[in-house]
Each structure stands twice: as structure tokens, then as C-alpha cells.
């Protein structure tokens, strides 16, 4: 089997690729663990100054494996899925999501966990939680509000609004649109790649402390994860979710 997460370094930038294109890069426990390992590898390598996250094939990440959510003990199963994008959110280095295709549910969380998002022409930012009958988790409510503001976040998470590449830029979810989002991400990452690593790391740490004076943004994210997990567990245990899961397995 191919590695679920690929890792390479180019010009002081780590490229981390979710590598399950046949299943549109769904987030499994194995993929999540691979993502955490790749992030730890990037942080430990003093030759890496920035990180790019993307997906193989036509999708960025089509969300969590619903079978994992339905069969794993909750909340343990949820935290296994969260672990990969929480590692991205906690990364000490600048992170760019090169969103080459749909970023759905947990895949949207993975994109939002990055510092910056660059959308390809086929990018789609789709929360999907409400449609699946699942309460948002993994800090999604906080990450979306941080990226796009309360109104856009509520349009997405309460009203099910989806955003193509151009709409994502208009609403502050993505920085820009590029025909080749990975190459555009490398161009952006050339900035930290050419700067002293210690300055890059210190600058990101300071920005985390000053975005909301009196707390660090990783602490705010952790609070959101804690606030969301209870209602998310309840939604997964509901008969409605069981019906949706059974229907998905029949397809």
C-alpha cells in the first residue's frame, strides 16, 4: 500500500500530501496519525522553514471516514480524526493549505488549520456537518470565525453555505486563487524559506499571543475543541446519524 501521507522537502519548504486519491483523501485514523508524524518531522528538521499541505489527485480532503466515526468509541474516535489537523494547527512553522479540490467537513478543518489557504480553480470549501447531521468538531466553529468572521462562519455552519474558489477569496476564507495552488504556495513560502528560521518561529509565536491579548490562539482552539466534543458525540450517537451512516454504506 502507498503511504497515506507523503513528505518531501524542497527549498526549505516541506510539502505534505494526503495520499488517498481513490477515496478523495478521506481522513482516517491512519491518515491522521501520518499527518501528525509528518508535522513532527517538519518541525524537527532545522532545514524546514515552512510547510505546505495539499491532497493527491482531484480532492484536497473529502472529510472523515464516516465508518470510523460510527464504529470507534466516542470521543476517542473523534480525537483520532482530529489529531492530524490539530497537529497542523499547533505547528510552530508557517503553514499553507494548497486547496486543489474539495475540502469537506474534516477536510475543511484541515484547510482552516493552516495559516493561509490558496485555492485552485476546482477548490470547494464545504462544511457539510449539518447535512450529515453531525455537530461541528475539532475547533471548526472557532477556526471558521477566526478565518472569515462570525457572519460568514454562521452562513457556513448554520445555513450550509459552500464556497467555490472565488467566493472563498471574497469572504476571506482563502488568500488567492491560482491555477497551480501548490506552486503558488511554494512562491509564498519562499518568504520564510529565505529568512532565519528562529525569526520565523518567533514571529509566529508572537502573533499567536497578540491576536487576542491575554490568551494564545492554540489555547482558544483547545477550548473550542472541548466545547464542541460533547454535542458532536451526541449527534453521532443519534438515530439520524445511524440512518445516514447505513445509507452511506449501502452506496
Q: What is the CATH number of the domain that holds 106?
A: 3.90.226.10
User: Looking at residue 106, what is its pLDDT?
Assistant: 93
Residue 63 sits at φ, ψ, to 5 deg, of 100, -175
User: Looking at residue 2, what is its pLDDT?
Assistant: 83
Q: Using an 8 Å Cβ cutoff, are 43 and 37 in contact?
A: no
243 in a structural domain:
no
In Å, how far from its chain's centre is CA 174?
A: 13
197 in a structural domain:
no
219 in a structural domain:
no
Domain count, the chain: 1
Q: Tell me how far apart the alpha carbons of residues 141 and 135 are, in angstroms, rounded to a whole number.
A: 10
Residue 61 contacts by C-beta under 8 Å, 6 or more apart in sequence?
A: 18, 24, 25, 26, 27, 55, 102, 103, 104, 106, 107, 110, 111
240 in a structural domain:
no
Task: Give per-residue pLDDT as tens, 204-241.
Answer: 999 999 998 889 999 999 999 999 999 998 988 888 77
Q: Tell me how far apart the alpha carbons of residues 152 and 129 are, in angstroms, rounded to a whole number.
A: 15
Residue 29 belongs to domain spanning: 5-180
| Max CA pair span of the chain | 54
* Alpha-helical regions (H) of the chain: 29-44, 66-71, 76-89, 106-112, 129-132, 140-148, 150-157, 165-170, 181-193, 197-210, 217-236, 239-250
Q: Tell me how far apart the alpha carbons of residues 136 and 180 are, in angstroms, rounded to a whole number.
A: 30
Q: Using an 8 Å Cβ cutoff, are 5 and 17 in contact?
A: yes
pTM of the model: 0.94
18 in a structural domain:
yes
207 in a structural domain:
no
The segments of the chain whose pLDDT lies below 50 read none
Angle between helices 140-148 and 150-157 (to 10 degrees): 130
227 in a structural domain:
no
129 in a structural domain:
yes
Amino acid at each position: 500500500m502507498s503511504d497515506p501521507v507523503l513528505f518531501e522537502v524542497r527549498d526549505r519548504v516541506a510539502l505534505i500530501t494526503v495520499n488517498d486519491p481513490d477515496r478523495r483523501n478521506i481522513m482516517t485514523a491512519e491518515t491522521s496519525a501520518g499527518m501528525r508524524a509528518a508535522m513532527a518531522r517538519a518541525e524537527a528538521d532545522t532545514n524546514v522553514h515552512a510547510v505546505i499541505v495539499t491532497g493527491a489527485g482531484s480532492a484536497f480532503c473529502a472529510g472523515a471516514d464516516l465508518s470510523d466515526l460510527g464504529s470507534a468509541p466516542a470521543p476517542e474516535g473523534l480525537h483520532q480524526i482530529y489529531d492530524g489537523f490539530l497537529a497542523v494547527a499547533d505547528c510552530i512553522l508557517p503553514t499553507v493549505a494548497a486547496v486543489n479540490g474539495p475540502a469537506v467537513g474534516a477536510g475543511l478543518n484541515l484547510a482552516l488549520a493552516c495559516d493561509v489557504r490558496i485555492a485552485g480553480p476546482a477548490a470547494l470549501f464545504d462544511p457539510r456537518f449539518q447535512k450529515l447531521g453531525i455537530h461541528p468538531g475539532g475547533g471548526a466553529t472557532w477556526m471558521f470565525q477566526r478565518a472569515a468572521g462570525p457572519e460568514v462562519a454562521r452562513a457556513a455552519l448554520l445555513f450550509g453555505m459552500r464556497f467555490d474558489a472565488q467566493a472563498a477569496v471574497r469572504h476571506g476564507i482563502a488568500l488567492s486563487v491560482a491555477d497551480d495552488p501548490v506552486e503558488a504556495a511554494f512562491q509564498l513560502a519562499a518568504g520564510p524559506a529565505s529568512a532565519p528560521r528562529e525569526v520565523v518561529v518567533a514571529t509566529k509565536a508572537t502573533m499567536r499571543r497578540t491576536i487576542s491579548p491575554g490568551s494564545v490562539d492554540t489555547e482558544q482552539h483547545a477550548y473550542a475543541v472541548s466545547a464542541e466534543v460533547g454535542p458532536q458525540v451526541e449527534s453521532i450517537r443519534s438515530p439520524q446519524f445511524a440512518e445516514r451512516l447505513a445509507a452511506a454504506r449501502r452506496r
